[in-house]
Amino acid sequence: NGKGARALVHFGKKVGNAFWDPACGCMLYGDGDGVFLKKPLVVLDVTGHELTHGVVDATARLEPTFVDADGYQYGEPGSLNESLADIFGSAVEFSANNPKNPPNYLVGEKLGLDQKFLRRLDKPSLDVLEGAIDYWSPAADDAEVHAGSGVSSHAYYLLAEGSGRKKIGSVTYNSPTYDGAPVKGIGRTRATAIYYRALTRYMVSTTNFHDARVATLKAAKDLYGATSAAYKAVDRSWAAVNVTAANTPRR
């Protein structure tokens, strides 16, 4: 709507989190819990992450399948929400291209964590704090959303950059595939455009990973054509994280 985004810093006391609050349409930033997160969570990719939750809230409204008594969220639509926030949070870094904050496919690398990042897109399972997963299985719907987010984050990275070992900027990546077959990336610009169109045109509150595959294929067809290399790469990138037409669960 052309208005600037609002944010509240120093939220709460020893809050190791930042989040989008749909009630105020704003971002809330904690200063860290002093244990795992020792710095305020105001870094650029986290900001992009939280703003993306606002975009999701205004479009697909992806919702967790269930929430436990402690407030932890589970299920594929919620995992997809977290994944898109990481994907576009990373894209914000690449767009800004700040030499003092070099862009990469890591999320929260400036938060001072012992593992050097909060999450990452190339091989999500390297995140041992949240137990992220690299590939889909029927158990994905029971995963906590930050852990489950690895499935679609990994698919996006493979679509953008491809599989295997490579160095982009100062970071070395080595992205594996479920079936061992390689994936050739189509570039970050086209991959991001496909995921954004899929979110804003084809996803709904209950979209799961297999639905997201269909949504991104539709978006790739819209943008580049059904016979394009981009369309074929989208299909291949999802197969590389074990999301295929053949293993789509029955409803």
Question: pLDDT at position 101, please?
Answer: 92
- 138 & 220 share domain: yes
In contact, 205 and 191? CB cutoff 8 Å: no
- Helix or strand or coil: residue 90? helix
- What tens digit of pLDDT does each residue of 163-218 get? 999 999 999 999 999 999 999 999 999 999 999 999 999 999 999 999 999 999 99
Beta bridge partners of 26: 6, 21
**247 inside domain:** no
Q: What are the structure tokens assigned to 51, written together?
A: 């703003």
What is the model's pLDDT at position 35? 87
Which pLDDT value is given to residue 5? 84
50 labelled catalytic:
yes
Q: What is the pLDDT of residues 225-238, one digit of tens each?
A: 999 999 999 999 99
Which of 49, 76, 82, 146 is catalytic? The answer is: 146
pLDDT given at position 36: 86
Q: Assign residue 94 the CATH number of its domain.
A: 1.10.390.10
Reply yes or no on whether 154 is catalytic.
Answer: no
Asked if residue 127 and residue 90 are part of one domain, the reply reads yes
Opening angle at CA 168, ends 170 and 97, nearest 5: 75
Per residue, what are the HEC states of 136-178? Answer: CCHHHHHCEHHHHCHHHHHHHHHHHHCCEEEEECCEEEEECCC
Token representation of residue 123:
């091989």
* Residue stretches of the chain with pLDDT short of 70: none
Same structural domain for residues 178 and 224? Answer: yes
Domain total in the chain: 2
With vertex at residue 246, the alpha carbon angle to CA 244 and CA 248, rounded to the nearest 5 degrees, is 70
Same domain, 146 and 235: yes
pTM of the complete model = 0.96
Q: Which domain holds residue 16?
A: 1-41
The one catalytic residue among 50, 130, 144, 161? 50
Strand-pairing partners, residue 59, are none
Query: What's the pLDDT score for residue 251?
Result: 76
In whole angstroms, give the CA distance from residue 60 to residue 202: 8
Q: Does residue 11 share a domain with residue 105?
A: no
Phi, psi for 90 (deg, rounded to 5): -65, -40
Q: Do 50 and 142 sit in the same domain of this protein?
A: yes
Residue 7, SS3 per DSSP: strand
Q: Does a structural domain hold residue 245?
A: no
